Chain A
Amino acid sequence: MSTVTQLEATPVARKAGRAASFRRKSPAWHGLAEWGIRATALLAIAAIVLIFVFILKEALPILFDTHVRGEVSLMKMWLPQAWDGGPARFSWQPASEVPKYSLMPLVAGSLKVTLIALVISAPIAILAAVYTASIAPRRVREVLKPVVELLAGVPSVVLGVFALIVAGTWLQKLFGFEHRLNAVLAGCALSVTIVPLIFTIAEDAITAVPRDYVDASLALGATKMHTILRVVVPAAVPGIAAGIVLGFGRAIGETMIVVIASGNAALLDATLGHSTRTITATIAQEMGETVHGSPHYVVLFVLGATLLAFTFVTNLGAQRIVEHFRKKRGGT
Chain B
Amino acid sequence: MIEDLSNGTTGPRGKLAVRGLDVFYRVEKPKKGQPGENQALKAVDLDVGVNEVLALIGPSGCGKSTFLRVLNRMNDTVPGARVAGSVTLDGEEILAPKYDVVGLRRRVGMVFQRPVAFPKSIFDNVAYGLRAHGLSEKRELEWRVQQALTRAALWDEVKDRLDANGLGLSGGQAQRLCIARALAVEPEVLLMDEPTSALDPIATAKLEELIAELREELTIVIVTHSMQQAGRVSQRTAFFYMGSLVEVGTTRDVFTRPREPRTEDYISGRFG
- Residues of A at the B interface (CB closer than 8 Å) are 138, 210, 212-223, 226, 230-231, 234-235, 328-331
Contacts and interface: CB of A to CB of B under 8 A. Distances in A.
Contacts of A231: 118
B132 A217 contact: yes
Given A230-B132, A328-B165, A330-B166, A215 B74 contact: yes
A212 B193 CA distance: 14
Contact of A220 (B77, B120, B185): B185
A234 to B, nearest CB: 7
Q: A-side binding surface: helix, strand, loop or mixed? A: helix
B153 to A, nearest CB: 20
Interface residues of B, number: 31
B119 A215 contact: no
Q: B-side binding surface: helix, strand, loop or mixed? A: helix
B237 interface: no
Nearest to A216: B116
- Specify which of A212, A221, A235, A329 lies most central, judged by the most chain B CB atoms within 10 Å of its CB: A221
Given A221-B102, A222-B132, A329 B165 contact: yes
- Specify which of A234, A328, A329, A331 lies most central, judged by the most chain B CB atoms within 10 Å of its CB: A329
Interface in B105-154: 105-107, 109-110, 112, 114, 116, 118-120, 128-129, 131-133
Given A220-B128, A330-B167, A214 B118 contact: no
Nearest to A138: B79
B129 A213 contact: no
Given A221-B106, A330-B165, A226 B132 contact: yes
A230 B110 contact: no
A231 B119 CA distance: 8
B109 to A, nearest CB: 7
Given A222-B128, A230-B128, A212 B106 contact: no
B72 interface: yes
Nearest to B164: A330
Contacts of B168: 330
Given A213-B118, A215-B77, A231-B118, A221 B185 contact: yes
